[in-house]
Amino acid sequence: MNDQLQANIFRFVFLIGIQLLILKQIPIELASFRLLIFLYPMYILLLPTQSPKQLLIFLGFLMGLTLDMFYDSPGVHAGALVFTGFIRDFSLRMFGVDMEKVKSLTPSRANIGFGKFAQISAFVLFLHIFVYYTFDVFTFVYIGEILVKTIGSFIVSYPVFLAYALIFNSKK
Amino acid sequence: MRSLILLLLKRSSLLLFLVMELICALLVINYNKKQNDIFLTSSNFFTGKFYSQVRSIQGYFYLNSIADSLANENKQLRDQLASSRYINIAHQDTFFSVRADSLGGDSILMKFVYTDAEVINNSVTSANNFFTLNKGALHGIGKSMGVLSAKGAVGIVSSVSDHFSTVRSILSRDIKISGNILVDGQPFFGSLTWQSHDYHYLDMDFVPKSTKISIGDSIVTNGFSSVFPEGYLIGKVDTFYVPPGSGYYKIKVALAEDMTSLKRVYVANNLLKEEQLKLEETNE
């Protein structure tokens, strides 16, 4: 249990570090929009399966606000990550993860298999990015722009997501 | 009501979710309006320090281009020295042209003083973009001062801490700059906003269609708002058209500065600003 706590605290700092020091510095462009690369939602996705939903939401808020401080966008990352925390358990169940079997473990590639992990992360990541840009633009008048940015960001973020899962394969 | 509360208690995660999302939405909305909570922005001490560390490492990779742009700018400044000064004498004789540097003593007042600063964090990805400077209140930077780069106007200071400041980039949906379009050297007033969300362009409105503009005409700051000194380039006309039924052009302005690679900027402090604002207030 203590190990698990440590692993999760480390992951919190580590993912924020990668996000700010590497991913934030990479310029990616689509249809003249600059896009973000998202890796940090991985943190919420990998929290242990027995974590109460309230904790998922709260940690989402905390991590989101931390990122917002660095991105100068109060509420935008937080809003998206709170949403991601809210739908995490639902998405695991939707893709048929046996919550009893992986009880108290992290739903990582090692514990649920790469196929399932890839599907779930695609689902969670896409929704996260969509909510992020919705909060950012904050009006559905620009729904076209939101969709273009979401799809673009998803295409560049998803490989990073999978690469992370292939490199770091935590069992805790 | 009772059963509603019971339901919410039973599903407290839903309640928490809704409350948290509400807080986030309020943060998003308020930040765009008030712009005075600095604890959540990169001008706070912690994030500011982080970015200046990152920047000091990255700095080495840009040394060449920075030196070039500084040399270039020095050349321009030599040509322009008089333009930031306010000439405090009445022009009574139109035959008599005054050079600011030919006047001595009390007749010249400083109107703008500049503080140079380095951009330590920058974004162009959002609908509201900001960048952070490595100087703050202790260096004389204050709220709503204009920020210029070597190539033109780039933003307005939105919040300041002792050592850092956050600047609302001209790439923000809430920003509005008044500018002049120069048609054969003749200035025509217009208003610039960022509607396209494309970081290469701004949109200019309220230029009457009787004006004979053409592609490549320069757009410069006009100093009406007391934020920017007059005559600094913003961009050039890229395309334009007159929407049906309108008396004004819609102009797409290609920005002079590449907003993705801002490094050195100058913060312009207008010393006569309060006087101007006070006067304008009495007229309202």
pLDDT-above-70 percentage for chain B: 80
Reported as type and span, the H/E element at residue B217 is none
A156: how many CB neighbours lie within 10 A of its CB? 16
Q: Is residue A74 within 8 angstroms of chain B, CB to CB?
A: yes
Q: Which of A76, A7, A35 is nearest to A160 (CA)?
A: A35
Does the distance separating the beta carbons of B127 and A136 come in below 8 Å? Answer: yes
Does the distance separating the beta carbons of B123 and A71 come in below 8 Å? Answer: yes
Q: Which CATH number does the domain housing residue B240 bear?
A: 2.40.10.350
User: What pLDDT, on the 0 to 100 scale, is given for residue A114?
Assistant: 86
Query: From the candidates B26, B27, B194, which should be mutated to test the interface with A, based on the most A CB atoms within 10 A?
Result: B27
Does residue B200 contact residue A32 with C-beta atoms inside 8 Å?
A: yes
Residue B165 pLDDT more than 70? yes
Q: Which structural domain, as residue segments, surrounds residue A49?
A: 2-167
Does a structural domain hold residue B32? no
Does the distance separating the beta carbons of A70 and B121 come in below 8 Å? Answer: yes
Does the distance separating the beta carbons of B27 and A82 come in below 8 Å? Answer: no
Q: Is residue B236 within 8 angstroms of chain A, CB to CB?
A: no
A·B CB contacts under 8 A: 109
Q: Which residue of A has its CA nearest to B259?
A: A34
Does the distance separating the beta carbons of A35 and B28 come in below 8 Å? Answer: no
Does a structural domain hold residue A80? yes
A-chain CB neighbours of B127 within 8 Å are: 136-138, 142
Does residue A87 contact residue A74 with C-beta atoms inside 8 Å?
A: no
Give the tens place of pLDDT for each residue, A47-94: 988 888 889 999 999 999 999 888 888 889 999 999 999 999 899 888
Whether B138 and B273 share a structural domain: yes
Does a structural domain hold residue B1? no
Does a structural domain hold residue A69? yes
Reported ipTM: 0.82
Whether B203 and B127 share a structural domain: no
Q: Which CATH number does the domain housing residue B61 bear?
A: 2.40.10.340
How sure is the predictor about A143, in pLDDT bands with cuts at 50, 70 and 90?
confident
Does the distance separating the beta carbons of B44 and A69 come in below 8 Å? Answer: yes
Does a structural domain hold residue B26? no
Whether B52 and B160 share a structural domain: yes
Whether B157 and B188 share a structural domain: no
Reported as type and span, the H/E element at residue B236 is strand B233-241
Name the more confident of B7 and B199.
B199
Phi/psi of residue A106, nearest 5 degrees: -85, 140
Distance CA B227, CA B144 (A): 7
**B225: CB partners within 8 A, 6+ apart:** B177, B178
Whether B110 and B84 share a structural domain: yes
Distance CA B167, CA B257 (A): 16
How sure is the predictor about B237, in pLDDT bands with cuts at 50, 70 and 90?
very high
Q: Which structural domain, as residue segments, surrounds residue B215?
A: 177-259
Per this entry, what is the length of chain A? Answer: 172
Q: Which of A127, A135, A131, A133 is nearest to A158 (CA)?
A: A127
Q: How many domains would you assign to chain B?
A: 2
Percentages helix, strand, coil for chain A (3-state, rounded to 5) are 70, 5, 25
Give the tens place of pLDDT for each residue, B81-126: 655 555 555 544 444 444 555 555 555 566 788 888 888 888 888 8
Whether B50 and B144 share a structural domain: yes
Average pLDDT, chain B: 79
A-chain CB neighbours of B37 within 8 Å are: 74
Does a structural domain hold residue A172? no
Does residue A127 contact residue A134 with C-beta atoms inside 8 Å?
A: no
Q: How many domains would you assign to chain A?
A: 1
Does a structural domain hold residue B142? yes
Whether B157 and B271 share a structural domain: yes
Per this entry, what is the length of chain B? Answer: 284
Does residue B25 contact residue B31 with C-beta atoms inside 8 Å?
A: no
Whether B62 and B163 share a structural domain: yes
Whether B53 and B143 share a structural domain: yes
Whether B156 and B52 share a structural domain: yes
